[in-house]
Amino acid sequence: MSQQALRADLRSETGFHLSDPLCMTEELRMLREQVRRFVEREVAPHGENWEADGMVPREIFLQMGELGLLGMRHAEEHGGTAMGPLASVVFAEELGRSSFGGFTATVTVHTDMSSPHISISGNEEQKRRYLPDIIAGRKVCAVAVTEPWAGSDVAGLKTRAARDGDSWVINGAKMFITNGVHGDVFIVAARTDPAAKGSRGISLFIVEKGTPGFSVARKLDKHGWLCSDTAELVFQDCRVPAENLLGQEGRGFYAIMGTFQNERLVIGAMASGEAQKAIELTLDYVRSRTAFGGTLWSLQATRQKLAELVSKTAAARALTYQTAALEEAGHDTSRDVSIVKAYAPEVLHEVVHGCLQLHGGTGYMRGTAIERMARDARILMIGGGATEVMLEEVAKRI
Ligand SMILES: Cc1cc2nc3c(=O)[nH]c(=O)nc-3n(C[C@H](O)[C@H](O)[C@H](O)COP(=O)(O)OP(=O)(O)OC[C@H]3O[C@@H](n4cnc5c(N)ncnc54)[C@H](O)[C@@H]3O)c2cc1C
């Protein structure tokens, strides 16, 4: 699809929108407007090029930093705006509406899935050293937990960090790491106590790009999220100063689980934004595509299919906002967040494939937004906790 046509897509006025959740404040509405404008101006016209390049350019981070969009989960004293989970949800939903899942992943890994570790677990010196550059978009952040031999089972990770004088020496490998090739600051999980079983004995470290012994083994080629860079990383006698230990030694697993809560909420919001966008694109399409003496929209089967997809999207979205509001109010949302992560990506999967079906052969063609969105959506049911793992988390709490 040409860039002009793509722009037309994003400006389409189908009149479709879901009611604002009651928890929306004036501040959150302004944030939504700001991000939506940014996406229309700076993402939509360039996303196809980024997909071809396999990366989101650094200038975009700098622009977002300039607008204050990268520091919403960090304290004001470090350059952030100290907002909460609802802001993350609004942000991720609007990025999701860009239709470029790879862009949304690149940015939300930086803002919501990796750098919060520094704010939550870091000491003053670490916050002062790393946060201003991360918030300004001068440095891109990544989180490296998954390994070739341990994904869903985080407690099974084998990368080892051994204390040697004033340093830690890291050996191991990390798999599927978003921002792995172009990132600058990595939050790395490693086992510091090999004698400790399972979740105990894991710690977090800050590892900077260029540290001797730390390298990108390969850039991974993916099914979707093409503009998000994903890498396999290797640590071979990678020596980091003792002060790069992030948080308490041996408590890394619990820090990862804590940040997963926010990551999973954000994934729910991404799914909600992407689903709304897919429906919008499809409404445009079926109202103009003619067949059997009318438009596709004039067929009851089409209308009912879209009504069903809208209903499920509205439910997933309401659940995500409700959970974010509870989290913001300080409630324990362990079960709710797992429900969001188990439900919203599955709804998105159904929506993008239902919408692709309504695009007919056009939806199967490279270059159409719906084709890309269907590929991009798939990972949300796997990353950050696969649906089955989330259902286990829900089951434990009923
Ligand atoms: C594009 C991409 C980006 C990613 N970015 C990052 C990143 O930035 N940082 C990072 O650390 N990781 C990242 N990941 C890793 C991601 O979080 C893992 O892929 C995910 O947690 C699943 O782990 P796995 O792939 O090892 O699958 P496995 O753990 O091997 O599981 C495979 C499948 O088995 C099933 N399964 C697993 N456990 C259970 C269970 N308990 N009960 C029932 N069924 C089960 C599920 O269907 C699951 O999909 C990324 C992955 C991808 C593909």
The percent of residues in the chain predicted with pLDDT above 70, rounded, is: 96
Q: Is the CB of 230 under 6 A from ligand 1?
A: yes
Q: What is the pLDDT of residue 197?
A: 84
Rounded average pLDDT over 320-347:
98
28 Cα to the center of ligand 1, angstroms:
32
Ligand 1 and 225: CB distance under 6 A: yes
Is 173 touching ligand 1 by the criterion CB < 6 Å? no
Calculate mean pLDDT across residues 210-222. Answer: 98
pLDDT at 6 over 70: no
The answer to whether residue 255 scores a pLDDT higher than 60 is yes
Which pLDDT score, from 0 to 100, does residue 1 have? Answer: 41
Confidence at residue 15, expressed as pLDDT on a 0 to 100 scale = 77
- Report how far ligand 1's centroid is from the alpha carbon of 231 (Å): 15
Residue 27 is a catalytic residue: no
Instruction: Point out which residues pair with 168 in neighbouring strands.
Output: 163, 240
Residue 230: burial class (beta carbons within 10 Å; 0-12, 13-18, 19+) = buried
pTM for the whole thing? 0.96
With b for 16 or more beta-carbon neighbours within 10 A and e for fewer, the 97-122 pattern comes to bbbbbbbbbbbbbbbbbbbbbbbebb
CA 205 to ligand 1 center in whole angstroms: 21
pLDDT digits 0-9 by tens, 65-113: 999 999 999 999 999 999 999 999 999 999 999 999 999 999 999 999 9
- What's the pLDDT tens digit per position in 351-392? 999 999 999 999 999 999 999 999 999 999 999 999 999 999
pLDDT of residue 198: 83
What is the best residue among 153, 382, 387, 391 to mutate for testing ligand 1's pocket, by most ligand atoms within 8 Å of CB? Answer: 382
Does pLDDT of 10 surpass 80? no
In the predicted structure, residue 213 carries a pLDDT above the cut 80: yes
The alpha-helical segments, DSSP class H, found in the chain are 3-11, 26-38, 47-53, 58-66, 85-96, 101-108, 116-121, 124-136, 252-288, 300-328, 334-358, 369-377, 387-396
In this structure, the strands spanning 202-208 and 245-246 are: antiparallel
- Stretch 155-178: mean pLDDT: 97
State residue 265's pLDDT score: 98
